Chains A and B, each alone.
Chain A
């Protein structure tokens, strides 16, 4: 028996042990087990391990303090939605009214800029960077591995209710490696992965209302990784890599160009 066959058999018997097989599979496993004493010994070890884990590493009860904190959190999240108390009864004079309008406009514009500059763009960006890091660390940067965009796009379409922009950049030196789905702020986000030498580039496509990315690509540094973010054609993008920043910008340039070309080629069929 070759190594591969041996491994397949071990995984098959493990699946039986975990009750993941259907009746036909379970029957085959039963035959294997009755015919092979080494498979039987392995089964005994797995069962012993499971009993040991049940005894010494069982599911724990969450501390009461944590439960209380979570409950308080829900309540406060709810309290934020309560209407603000009314506090004024007499109508204000026109002068006061005008001044307060002006003040409101100034404050609102200032706040909007502040929010735009600081909060919104980077609130979700760290999660995207984390997704990229995790992909690299786990050695599992893609859920679907393919250099063919006609494979990757339908795969994403099968998972998410979006028409994701998938472009082929092999000619520009960034072959497609595949795609994965990241969780960004608890939303499932399609992320394309491209290769450059030994490096990877992750491009996340976000719902534009979630972020306040600028129209023109803008570079920032998040957790030590260069990230280029931009928004176009009702979509928002964030590209992360451990490539030198200049190369990442070149990638973004190529990506946008190819996406624009794809839009003009197939405008009626593409997208939303």
Chain B
């Protein structure tokens, strides 16, 4: 099934991005052990797809596969999370609507004063479509286009999800650390 060629390319092009894949999976599943399962599954998928496939941007490609593996994993193991945290209605209602510019937006200094625990809790509380956009951008450093192609959403949707995710975090961290 797997050729030497695919194996070598996996080691060269894919393996260096294992940290990225692991970080994304950890934020999507919310758990380190689950993230390991997801990444292992994603690597297996990547390896079998490498035969004959031309991969232009291996990091974005691996992250797209990891993201899909995470969704398969969530569907199988925690379908309830997917529905609750995924917040279909939430995502749908707020997708386009940025918060109407705050009466009292928190000070930048307050946001910076937030501690690790509240940052992690605030990210974990984001609906999945917002969370994945935020993590792909701020943690993995993907471009809008790469996020759009990894999530299958139009670029405008990616931009508004990202804005929405940031606004939610700013709101939460700015008020939590007062």
A residues whose Cβ falls under 8 Å from a Cβ of B = 3, 6-7, 10-11, 14-15, 18, 20, 38, 41-42, 44-63, 65-67, 69-70, 73-74, 77-78, 80-81, 126-127, 130, 133-134, 136-140, 143, 180-183, 185-187, 223
Question: Could you say which residues of chain A place their CB within 8 Å of the CB of B27?
Answer: 57
Question: Could you say which residues of chain B place their CB within 8 Å of the CB of A181?
Answer: 152
Whether A77 touches B1, Cβ cut-off 8 Å, given contacts A53-B119, A56-B116, is yes
CA distance A69 to B18 in the complex (A): 12
Question: Could you say which residues of chain B place their CB within 8 Å of the CB of A138?
Answer: 86, 88, 91, 128-129, 153
Interface secondary structure of A, over-half rule = helix
**B75 near A139 (CB under 8 angstroms)?**
no
**A59 near B20 (CB under 8 angstroms)?**
yes
Closest 5 CB pairs of A and B: A186-B49, A48-B108, A62-B22, A139-B92, A56-B119
Which residues B86-145 have CB closer than 8 A to chain A?
86, 88, 91-92, 95-98, 100-101, 105-106, 108-109, 111-112, 114-116, 119-120, 123, 128-129, 137-140, 143-144
Closest to A47 in B: B108
Q: Decide yes or no whether B13 CB sits under 8 A from chain A.
A: no
**B139 near A58 (CB under 8 angstroms)?**
yes
Question: Could you say which residues of chain A place their CB within 8 Å of the CB of B109?
Answer: 48
B residues whose Cβ falls under 8 Å from a Cβ of A = 1-4, 7, 10-11, 15, 18-23, 26-27, 32, 36, 39-40, 43-49, 53, 64-65, 68, 71-72, 75, 82-83, 86, 88, 91-92, 95-98, 100-101, 105-106, 108-109, 111-112, 114-116, 119-120, 123, 128-129, 137-140, 143-144, 152-154, 156-157, 159-160, 162-163, 166, 169-170, 173-174
CA distance A56 to B114 in the complex (A): 9
List 13 extra interface pairs beyond A52-B114, A77-B48, CB under 8 A. A11-B156, A42-B105, A45-B174, A52-B119, A56-B119, A78-B7, A81-B1, A126-B72, A134-B75, A138-B129, A139-B95, A143-B153, A187-B49
**A45 near B111 (CB under 8 angstroms)?**
yes
**B138 near A57 (CB under 8 angstroms)?**
yes
Interface hub of B1, B111, B115, B152 (most chain A Cβ within 10 A): B152
Question: Could you say which residues of chain B place their CB within 8 Å of the CB of A10?
Answer: 98, 163
CA distance A77 to B50 in the complex (A): 13
Distance in Å from the Cβ of B4 to the closest Cβ of chain A? 7
Distance in Å from the Cβ of A202 to the closest Cβ of chain B? 13
